[in-house]
Structure 1
């Protein structure tokens, strides 16, 4: 009986234990599912393009197993307590899924691309202590309810978003808050009064908003405040007393507001304060003597105010000071000698004041690395700047700007003591004497500006020792002699300005070695000789002003000099070239441009008063153009008559064709009028649809100067394009025809339309090409609709691919003769393929006027050589057409556009815009600013260089390819192109 009783007791104990376990399980599992569910729902509102949240698995029973990235949990309760997804590149909005995370203590979603507003419910999570939503694209007003239940909230950051409206008044009642950061949004209005009296607040950042009003009294209640920033707002009035009671303050930034009055004296109590910036306000009066009591200051910025008087002696007590900025005030006198005690000073800026006297010697014996004393022009003359440096050998100064003062005297050899100098600006003073050779000992010097002084003598050859120079400005002095060739050692030089001196002699060819040169101004000197031809190779040149010298001869051909503005070469009587409107030998007429909409010539020039708005100009160029036009018309009529004569027989012959595939170039079954010879270079099968398909209008793809193009299908299912030549009576004999076609068939390149075979009868000739499905470049540029247009990257790839194709043709001794946008096709991968190359070789003779008649659709692409019998037609013609094509691709405009009263030639339009400094206006408006100017502008300049009137001035296509690759990747290949 006792045994039975014990067994029953044990049974009930086990049953009770099981009950406890079940209750515990049911208490835990649903809550874990809440966290998983909440996070999965939160994730559903996001776009995670980088797969950062791939570890979040909705099938997991818990989010606390350690696998869920960005999630931290309490190990005892197994509840999510932290969600940190900073910098995950997430898009989307902050959804309601977070409301299920009832034990969440920290929510940090900064540095993403979250949009939309924020729900007032997020702050209602009972345990939430930290909210960081900074660095997103959140917008709208922050609802007042967001901070209504903020009992546990300690840190809130909404910085660097797009929030607007007023700061919620409820924020002022969050008494537990230790840090508020609402910086760089668009909050406006006044600050809630409760914030100014929050005793627990340690950090307050409201900078970069549109807040206004005055700072109220009572700020002394913020006893725990460590830092405050109200910068870049619209606060006004005086700063009230009270901040001096916040003894823990270490940083104060009230810059860029409209605050006025004097600096509150109680700030002297802030001995722990290391940062004080009041710049960009309207403070006035003298800088107070008590400022020296703020012994912890490391940064003191009182710039851009209305302070007057002298810098107080007490400033020397700030022994921890590293940065001192008193610029843009009304300070007078000299810097006090007590500043010799500022042994930690690194940067000093007292520019734009009315200070006088010599620079104290202590500046050049301290560790300061930046000294700015520019634009101080009191009455009287200052002493020499460098008299005190005679015994100085080691210096830490990196930036020394003494410009726009009244310093006089000479720059002595002591300048060599500033051995760490990176930038020296002594411009706009009254310094005289020569430039010391010691300048060459400044090996780290990157910028030297001695302009607008009274310097005389030679530019020392030792200047080449300053090999780190990037900018050298010596303009408006009285320097004489030659430009030293040693300047070639300054390989990083990008700006060279020597204008308005008395320099003489030639411009040294050594300048051509400075491949980083961008801006050169040698104007208003007495330089002589020819401009070195090598300067045309400078790849980065933006401006080169040599006006008002005695330069003679012809401007260099190529590079920047093909588009140099007239103003940059004016005042050189013996200089010749297009830029100065003075002919040199072998200058050719402008391209032929005919306006089909009018019978009068539309050339430029002055108008006789009797002609009203009509213009007739019988210049040599116009006569040549008229003559060429007449020959072209006669040629067109003649060819049309010839084509009509053979059309019927050609069609009859084509209808009776029987194709037989050839294994090589030599197969020739027959050549009579009723059967033909088909040769496929790769041994491809016959056509599946027969000859009749080639003459079917439904299969026609287009027509060009040399014939119509049809699409048909081989027996293996592959599409090909067939060009039916319509110049039958002008085509060479079968032997010559086959020799030329086989030569073209061997030319293979990824950017060329591949010639796969040909068909021959005496009355019908066919060329068989690969079929390119993407259509012509012309259609992409001029016939696209809606948003279907070429991006800049696609356009650049087309330009580069076309250049490579032409370079390969020229390397294979093939001239294209017919470059235009309709002959550049785009394949399904966006790659360009150049077609119709070398077809002019099929004519019995390369008569330029017969050739012109065949490519008359290329009007605007034709090189000017076509109008001059004495100039040989070479691959330079292709380069001219390529240049026009480049401008067409970048601008989206046709080479020649006919208006009601005018003809606009694309080359002339772009060249004029470049001279007027508005070249970016020429770029296709479809790009809507989505293009890199550092690529687009050099590409346009290259296009203009390729359209030079003088063939020898045009680069060859290999050089064009190299230049384009350098434009796309400027860090590569500069040595080869230099």
Structure 2
């Protein structure tokens, strides 16, 4: 609202005061009008839902979304749910002294919760869920003793809860604070809420032991208890037998340890039980079989052991069963078929063995079957393919036999089928092409020894087709992409022959072609594809990964492939290809490993011959320059014999070459002379000296770096009469590094702030006698170094979010890739650490302190010793040797440590009283234990696990102790770009 509304509100307040002196009833009505108009004035109402609220009305009882008490005509309910309102909740609500229900959920409200809300003494229901409210939950809410329903879920509320939060919660029946950023312990006053029947504190950062036995188990009226997705620890002790009313117990995503409570089966009304994603151990309690009403049971991702419960068939009400990612042994009982209501079954990643019981096929309601990563043997039960299943994952077992024929029921419903990593033989059933809803098909790593049936082209919705190393023979069907939906095609490691079909250009949605999506690990196996690479591949505009290595492909690479601007990874090595690489796209930045082993690809990276398929010799037409010849000469030329004409043409080419060579030599002489003259005049400064180290004229757009400036003893043009000693004084000092001290200064007359590093003079400069001052000038980084931003933030500085951290990782990787791959010889930094990563105002990274070794005649002892002392944890292990084998892989190691530091928020080496924690070792151990996400820095808030997990894995590969096992920085950039644009559907299967 504008000034007019503020004036109206002021007038209403004055009128209310005057009327209040005359009588009571009118005062009360005006109070309600006033309070609601003040509330409206702080809100933006794009849909004009509150237009009926008029300050001229005597009563608001006829207004939309308002209810009044018929006894006293006071406002008793305000319900503004889902109206798209934004703005802040003002103080007007405290005027509504008879208000019992306030519901503002599912809007875009911001700001903090006003403590004055507690001034409405009769409030019974408060619902502010699904907004963007922030700040702490006010402790004054604990004074509202009449409150029965409190829902503040799905906001951005933070901080710990006051311990007296539930001091007077005797009336509270429903409490949900889920989906916020609350932290600290659960208040000890919670057991005072004796009438509570719904408690949801999930998806926060609550920590510590929630005190089950002495606290939560005393809330005997609870029907729902959800503490999931926090950082709660300790055990879940027995004592649940008193929870007779409990229907839902959800504790997944914490760090609870110890055994499952043995008396969990004594809660007779339980319908949902979820202990998944914790650290629980021991066996599955036998008391579970008593839960006849249980529909949802999830104990996945723990450390449970012992035999699979043979009594599971007695839990006849189960609809969802998940025991995945544990250590259960034994076989599945035939009584599995008694679970007639079961829809979801996941027993993946255990140690189960034996045959898959055929009785599973008797569960007609079954929709999802996941038995991946066990040691099941025998054949696939034929009846299983007669059920209306949506998803079947039997991968990574020891199944034999053939793929059963599928019924029409399965073809109508199946969306995902994964039989990879078994010992299945026989043909691919032709009827698979009739699966109208199938999106994901993975038959890789089997022994099919089958041809690809042409019916595979009938798929209407297939997105992923993975047939790697499955014994396929024959050719690739030309109609494999007729559906137009295929995004990932993996056929590597077979015995396929013949050409790549020209129809491959019809795969308009193709995203990845013939690649192992795990960027490190085993190498790709061979096929025997022959013929040229089809030019039609240039139509695959979405293609990001193209791997065709180890085949018999021949001819030149189509230049049109350079148009594929989305390509991130290409490997065409070990074929029979010749000729030039495409001029555009990624092809000009490929390293030798991606193109080696061919007949004659033209590249400076290869030592072999360059072969071009040129059908005719190059002929220069002498008449093309007729305007430069006299008419008599042209006439004489036409009258010569054909023999003399050919001879003249040869002489013309030779003459052109000779003239060109002479011109080059002449230009070189002139340049050298100018350089010598320039040296005699003692150049004041050399602009862009660092860029001159790079032979390539192409620069990375994301490569941000300063300039190297060598000043003489005279004044610089940028400081016409400045004295460097006065500019670079103690007050201007902002940091100190191995190579010297850094100062902040302004360029005179330009208003530009720069950072200047004065180098140490311990015999470091190669031509020190030519310069009296040794300085490096770069752009001043407004946000300072990553070291300060990450480990020494100011109180007002917000924490680095995951998008910003990923931006820093990717930007730094691109910068290092530029130094390593775009410069000849490569520039090696060998001191990558957060203090050398500077951040501009948009948190774009700038790499500092690089290229200095190009100015050094040798690594002097002072610099070397300081280098190791100033960068503990970042230095590659091979640099500890006396030989100091400096190469690009040293930077890769330091970059890997930098990633770990950014993701975890911890330093690379931490010293305790009794031990030393090496960050890379710590993360590697957590990864092996399956708990690597426990090390993620919680200060960055919500983060996508599908990005963070592969980034952590990449960091561990970069910090490999063996230099040759580390990827190049070009490969690192490609991997990061793929991680940022995740491949759709179930890529976890790769």
> How has the CA–CA distance of structure 1 residues 312 and 342 changed in structure 2, closer, same or farther, with 3 Å as cutoff?
same
Q: 1-side partners of 2:45 and 2:326: how far apart? A: 49
Query: Gaps (5+ residues) in structure 1?
Result: 1-20, 587-618, 638-699, 704-772, 790-859, 865-888, 904-911, 935-968, 970-978
Corresponding residue of 1:532: 558
Q: 2-side partners of 1:173 and 1:295: how far apart? A: 37
8 Å CA contact 2:141, 2:165 repeated in 1: yes
CA drift of 1:549 comes to: 0.8
CA drift of 1:339 comes to: 1.5
CA drift of 1:449 comes to: 0.9
8 Å CA contact 2:272, 2:297 repeated in 1: yes
CA drift of 1:175 comes to: 0.9
Q: Aligned pair 1:304/2:325, yes or no?
A: yes
CA drift of 1:360 comes to: 0.8
Instruction: Specify which of 120, 126, 145 is matched with residue 145 of structure 2.
Output: 126
Corresponding residue of 2:237: 216
CA drift of 1:129 comes to: 1.3
8 Å CA contact 2:578, 2:610 repeated in 1: no
> How has the CA–CA distance of structure 1 residues 187 and 389 changed in structure 2, closer, same or farther, with 3 Å as cutoff?
closer
Corresponding residue of 2:401: 383
Corresponding residue of 1:901: 855
Q: 2-side partners of 1:278 and 1:553: how far apart? A: 58
Corresponding residue of 2:474: 457
Corresponding residue of 1:546: 572
8 Å CA contact 2:601, 2:611 repeated in 1: no
Query: Gaps (5+ residues) in structure 2?
Result: 1-18, 76-97, 516-523, 613-660, 680-716, 721-748, 756-776, 785-818, 824-842, 858-887, 900-904, 906-939, 948-980, 982-990
Corresponding residue of 1:444: 461
Alignment deviations for residues 279-334 of structure 1 (CA, whole Å, 9 cap, x no partner): 11222223323322222221111111222111112221222211100111111112
Q: 1-side partners of 2:109 and 2:670: how far apart? A: 64
CA drift of 1:269 comes to: 3.3
Give the match's secondary structure for 2:183: strand
Instruction: Specify which of 464, 468, 472 is matched with residue 489 of structure 2.
Output: 472
Instruction: Specify which of 558, 576, 584 is matched with residue 602 of structure 2.
Output: 576
Alignment deviations for residues 360-387 of structure 1 (CA, whole Å, 9 cap, x no partner): 112211100100011113xxx711224x
Q: 1-side partners of 2:301 and 2:133: how far apart? A: 34
Instruction: Specify which of 195, 206, 210 is matched with residue 227 of structure 2.
Output: 206
Alignment deviations for residues 329-366 of structure 1 (CA, whole Å, 9 cap, x no partner): 11111221212221111110000111001111122111
Q: Aligned pair 1:26/2:44, yes or no?
A: no
Q: 2-side partners of 1:921 and 1:166: how far apart? A: 33
Q: 2-side partners of 1:890 and 1:138: how far apart? A: 29
Corresponding residue of 1:194: 215
Larger RCO, structures 1/2 (Cα 8 Å, 6+ apart): 1
CA drift of 1:216 comes to: 2.8
Instruction: Specify which of 284, 291, 303 is matched with residue 282 of structure 1.
Output: 303
Corresponding residue of 1:135: 154
8 Å CA contact 2:497, 2:529 repeated in 1: yes
Q: 2-side partners of 1:525 and 1:621: how far apart? A: 46
Corresponding residue of 1:363: 384
Q: Aligned pair 1:227/2:251, yes or no?
A: no
Q: 2-side partners of 1:393 and 1:96: how far apart? A: 58
8 Å CA contact 1:72, 1:81 repeated in 2: no
Give the match's secondary structure for 2:353: strand
8 Å CA contact 1:308, 1:331 repeated in 2: yes
Q: 1-side partners of 2:362 and 2:435: how far apart? A: 21
Aligned positions of 1:695-710 closer than 5 A: none
Instruction: Specify which of 347, 350, 363 is matched with residue 329 of structure 1.
Output: 350
Corresponding residue of 1:428: 445
8 Å CA contact 1:86, 1:110 repeated in 2: yes
Q: 2-side partners of 1:573 and 1:271: how far apart? A: 70
Corresponding residue of 1:113: 132
RMSD: 5.2
CA drift of 1:278 comes to: 0.8
Alignment deviations for residues 632-672 of structure 1 (CA, whole Å, 9 cap, x no partner): 669999xxxxxxxxxxxxxxxxxxxxxxxxxxxxxxxxxxx
CA drift of 1:582 comes to: 7.0
8 Å CA contact 2:411, 2:432 repeated in 1: no
CA drift of 1:550 comes to: 0.9
> How has the CA–CA distance of structure 1 residues 358 and 148 changed in structure 2, closer, same or farther, with 3 Å as cutoff?
same
Q: 2-side partners of 1:358 and 1:628: how far apart? A: 81
What is the total number of aligned residue pairs between the two structures? 642
Aligned positions of 1:551-950 closer than 5 A: 551-580=577-606, 626-627=668-669, 629-630=671-672, 787=782, 901=855
Q: Aligned pair 1:65/2:70, yes or no?
A: no
Give the match's secondary structure for 1:169: coil
Q: 1-side partners of 2:353 and 2:423: how far apart? A: 14
TM value normalised by structure 2: 0.57
> How has the CA–CA distance of structure 1 residues 74 and 512 changed in structure 2, closer, same or farther, with 3 Å as cutoff?
same
CA drift of 1:84 comes to: 2.2
8 Å CA contact 1:332, 1:356 repeated in 2: yes
Q: 2-side partners of 1:39 and 1:212: how far apart? A: 48
> How has the CA–CA distance of structure 1 residues 512 and 900 changed in structure 2, closer, same or farther, with 3 Å as cutoff?
closer
Corresponding residue of 2:201: 182
CA drift of 1:231 comes to: 0.6
> How has the CA–CA distance of structure 1 residues 33 and 372 changed in structure 2, closer, same or farther, with 3 Å as cutoff?
same
8 Å CA contact 2:579, 2:611 repeated in 1: no
Q: 1-side partners of 2:671 and 2:851: how far apart? A: 18
Instruction: Specify which of 151, 159, 163 is matched with residue 170 of structure 2.
Output: 151
> How has the CA–CA distance of structure 1 residues 507 and 208 changed in structure 2, closer, same or farther, with 3 Å as cutoff?
same
Q: 1-side partners of 2:278 and 2:445: how far apart? A: 32
Give the match's secondary structure for 1:272: coil
CA drift of 1:462 comes to: 3.3
Corresponding residue of 1:520: 546
Corresponding residue of 1:875: none
Corresponding residue of 2:977: none
> How has the CA–CA distance of structure 1 residues 788 and 402 changed in structure 2, closer, same or farther, with 3 Å as cutoff?
closer
8 Å CA contact 1:393, 1:417 repeated in 2: no
CA drift of 1:897 comes to: 8.3
8 Å CA contact 1:370, 1:398 repeated in 2: yes
Q: Which moved more, 1:416-425 or 1:163-172?
A: 416-425
Aligned positions of 1:10-49 closer than 5 A: 25-26=23-24, 29=27, 33=31
Q: 2-side partners of 1:91 and 1:417: how far apart? A: 52
Q: 2-side partners of 1:404 and 1:585: how far apart? A: 42
Q: 2-side partners of 1:505 and 1:227: how far apart? A: 62
Q: 1-side partners of 2:58 and 2:140: how far apart? A: 22
Q: Aligned pair 1:236/2:257, yes or no?
A: yes
8 Å CA contact 2:388, 2:410 repeated in 1: no
> How has the CA–CA distance of structure 1 residues 393 and 291 changed in structure 2, closer, same or farther, with 3 Å as cutoff?
closer
Alignment deviations for residues 22-43 of structure 1 (CA, whole Å, 9 cap, x no partner): 9994377369749966996x99
Alignment deviations for residues 600-619 of structure 1 (CA, whole Å, 9 cap, x no partner): xxxxxxxxxxxxxxxxxxx9
8 Å CA contact 1:390, 1:414 repeated in 2: no
Q: 1-side partners of 2:577 and 2:149: how far apart? A: 72
Q: 1-side partners of 2:139 and 2:128: how far apart? A: 16
Corresponding residue of 2:631: none
Instruction: Specify which of 369, 372, 382 is matched with residue 348 of structure 1.
Output: 369
